[in-house]
């Protein structure tokens, strides 16, 4: 049996994690590149050592863990620094989700989802049978990001680091609009996986 693969993307704060959770509840297997990225910079991982070497010892705390906010402050304020960080992380992240999808294929699993915020930006859409973009209005996006405790400057920097969601929506095979009630979000996902 052939595994049907979904590449799930969307703008920051637009509902990717919620969509992934809803798909898991429906029995779909999900691999999330944000989770992989966090694992890649755990103490002892080669990526953390590379980040320390490239960005300085101050990026790693006394506990040996990445100082995420400090690194974010640096890379979201400087596009070249962000590109250097992406060069460290993206190949590792891609290798993990590709290996996971191959494993699920070998097991004969029916459905698999990879959550990749930069799916189109990193040119990996061709790896999937269906690409799905979750999206909401800019107003709702900003409200959700402010609820995370981010300043308007942090929000602007992170939004600028991704393609506009309108472009992602045009490239995606399916769009899930996450503006309304959760039941509406669920119904849209159900139509896609049917």
Tens digits of residue pLDDT in 8-40: 999 999 999 999 999 999 999 999 999 999 999
Burial (CB count within 10 angstroms: exposed 0-12, middle 13-18, buried 19+), residue 102:
exposed
Q: What percent of the chain has pLDDT over 90?
A: 95
DSSP one-letter string for 34-92? HHHHHHHTSTT-HHHHHHHHHH-GGGB-TTS-B-HHHHHHHHTT-HHHHHHHHHHHHHH
Spatial neighbors of 133 by CB under 8 A, at least 6 apart, are 9, 10, 165, 168, 169, 171, 172, 174, 175, 176
Q: Give me the CATH topology for the region 4-193.
A: Rossmann fold (3.40.50)
Structure tokens at 44: 């002892």
Domain parsing of the chain, residue ranges: 4-193
Tens digits of residue pLDDT in 80-119: 999 999 999 999 999 999 999 999 989 988 899 999 999 9
pLDDT of residue 56: 95
pLDDT of residue 47: 97
Q: With 70 as the cut, is the pLDDT of residue 51 above it?
A: yes
pLDDT of residue 1: 54
- pTM passes above 0.75: yes
**Residues 117-125, mean pLDDT to the nearest whole number:** 96
Q: What percent of the chain has pLDDT over 70?
A: 99
pLDDT of residue 171: 98
């Amino acid at each position: 049996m052939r595994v049907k693969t979904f590449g799930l993307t969307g703008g920051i704060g637009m509902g990717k994690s919620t969509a992934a959770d809803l798909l898991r509840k429906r029995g779909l297997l999900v691999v999330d590149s944000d989770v992989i990225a966090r694992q890649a910079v755990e103490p002892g991982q080669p990526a953390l050592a590379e980040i320390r070497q490239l960005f300085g010892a101050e990026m790693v705390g006394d506990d040996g863990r990445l100082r995420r906010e400090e690194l974010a402050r640096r890379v979201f304020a400087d596009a070249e620094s962000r590109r250097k960080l992406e060069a460290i992380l993206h190949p590792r992240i891609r290798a993990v989700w590709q290996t996971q999808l191959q494993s699920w294929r070998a097991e004969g699993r029916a459905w698999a989802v990879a959550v990749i915020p930069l799916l189109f930006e990193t040119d990996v859409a061709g790896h999937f049978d269906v690409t799905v973009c979750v999206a909401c209005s800019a107003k709702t996006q900003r409200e959700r990001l402010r609820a995370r405790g981010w300043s308007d400057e942090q929000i602007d920097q992170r939004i600028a680091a991704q393609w506009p969601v309108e472009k992602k929506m045009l490239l995606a095979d399916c769009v899930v609009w996450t503006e309304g009630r959760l039941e509406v979000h669920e119904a849209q996902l159900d139509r896609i996986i049917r």
